[in-house]
Chain A
Amino acid sequence: GAVVSQHPSWVICKSGTSVKIECRSLDFQATTMFWYRQFPKQSLMLMATSNEGSKATYEQGVEKDKFLINHASLTLSTLTVTSAHPEDSSFYICSASKYNEQFFGPGTRLTVL
């Protein structure tokens, strides 16, 4: 199989605080992981491509200083939303690449009050 987990599954935080979301590939090693953002009833928007041992590649319009991505090992990538504001509230989904296929985590619902 190819299982990807995310933690936490949901988080509520106060405006101005930082939140870290973990993405793990449980039964395979992933050189490349991806982070997506999904607004209600909308499609997935790729935020960044995370490569193990190197800096993430951010999509145009995504603030790299606000959405910090670290891919420290072949099974773990983290997304930190720094100084979160209500407009950052969203559903964040990660995926891990195996061969030419992406396997998706269950998502993290972030609510910023």
Chain B
Amino acid sequence: AQSVTQPDIHITVSEGASLELRCNYSYGATPYLFWYVQSPGQGLQLLLKYFSGDTLVQGIKGFEAEFKRSQSSFNLRKPSVHWSDAAEYFCAVGSILTGGGNKLTFGTGTQLKVEL
């Protein structure tokens, strides 16, 4: 069965500092990997995804993530954090459904706080 681990429950960074959120996955085949962001009381917004190809993927809001098969990791990075980035971040791995679509398994999330 697939699983996702986000080791850091909370992370606090200063505005302007760099950010890295960790994600490790367990999956039997080549995974589909996603990072989502959730603001309080809101749904999820896709930041970026990896399906195949270039292992460094660019997303919205200046985020990027690197797929490292040897480490089973898909860490999210941003060179300079903005106060508006404070939110909950979820890493997810997807498995293809027979009827189409992708079934997602989410990590437990990382709460990001940004100090001004």
Contacts and interface: CB of A to CB of B under 8 A. Distances in A.
Interface stretch (B21-29, B68-76, B105-113): B105-113
Contacts of A32: 97, 99-101
Q: Interface on chain A toward B: helix, strand, loop, or mixed SS? A: strand
Contacts, number: 62
A81 B87 CA distance: 29
B51 interface: yes
Nearest to B94: A100
Q: Taking each of B96, B102, B105, which has the highest tally of chain A beta carbons within 10 Å of its own beta carbon?
A: B102
Interface string A25-46: 0000001101000000111101
Nearest to A103: B46
B99 A107 contact: no
Contact of A42 (B46, B94, B99, B108): B108
- Sort chain A's interface into a size bin: 20 to 34
Contact of B101 (A100, A104, A109): A100
B107 A100 contact: no
B61 interface: no
B94 A93 contact: no
A85 B103 CA distance: 28
A6 to B, nearest CB: 8
B32 interface: yes
Given A31-B99, A32-B97, A104 B104 contact: no
Interface in B18-77: 32, 34, 36, 41-46, 49, 51
Interface of B: 32, 34, 36, 41-46, 49, 51, 90, 94, 96-97, 99-109, 111
